[in-house]
């Protein structure tokens, strides 16, 4: 049975799992899918049998961060910048 993909699904090729992309269109009732390849803007048509869902690793839960050790930035307060201010690459 062929998998059915929706717009926005992240998929990869079965024979070359390094090639992945996002579904942006379909044709012929799901027999072919238009995929925007990862890392570029090129769009390529693939048959549904050539594709599988890309396993997306779970993301860290924002509520699991300990506020005592988190780096909290308050954007409501002004901070004077000097030559020795540590901005961590932001300024």
Residue 77 has pLDDT above 90, yes or no: no
> What mean pLDDT is predicted for residues 6-28?
93
Distance CA(48)–CA(33), nearest Å, equals: 7
CA distances 14 to 32, 49, 87, 90, Å, are 15, 8, 44, 41
Look at residues 7, 36, 6 and name the one whose alpha carbon lies nearest to residue 21. 36
- Reported as a single tens digit per residue, the pLDDT across 31-70 is 999 999 999 989 999 999 999 999 877 666 656 667 676 6
- Of residues 67 and 28, more confidence is placed in 28
Domain boundary assignment for the chain: 10-56
Spatial strand order of the sheet with 32-37 comes to: 43-47, 32-37, 20-27, 10-13, 51-53
pLDDT band at 84 (very low <50, low <70, confident <90, very high): confident
């Amino acid at each position: 049975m062929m998998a059915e993909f929706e717009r926005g699904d992240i998929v990869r090729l079965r024979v070359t799992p390094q090639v992945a992309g996002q579904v942006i269109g379909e044709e012929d009732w799901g027999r072919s899918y238009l995929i925007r390849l990862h890392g570029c803007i090129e769009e390529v048509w693939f048959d549904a049998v050539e594709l599988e869902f890309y396993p997306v690793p779970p993301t860290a839960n924002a509520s699991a961060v300990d506020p005592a050790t988190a780096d909290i930035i308050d954007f409501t307060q002004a901070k004077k910048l000097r030559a020795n201010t540590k901005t961590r690459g932001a300024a």
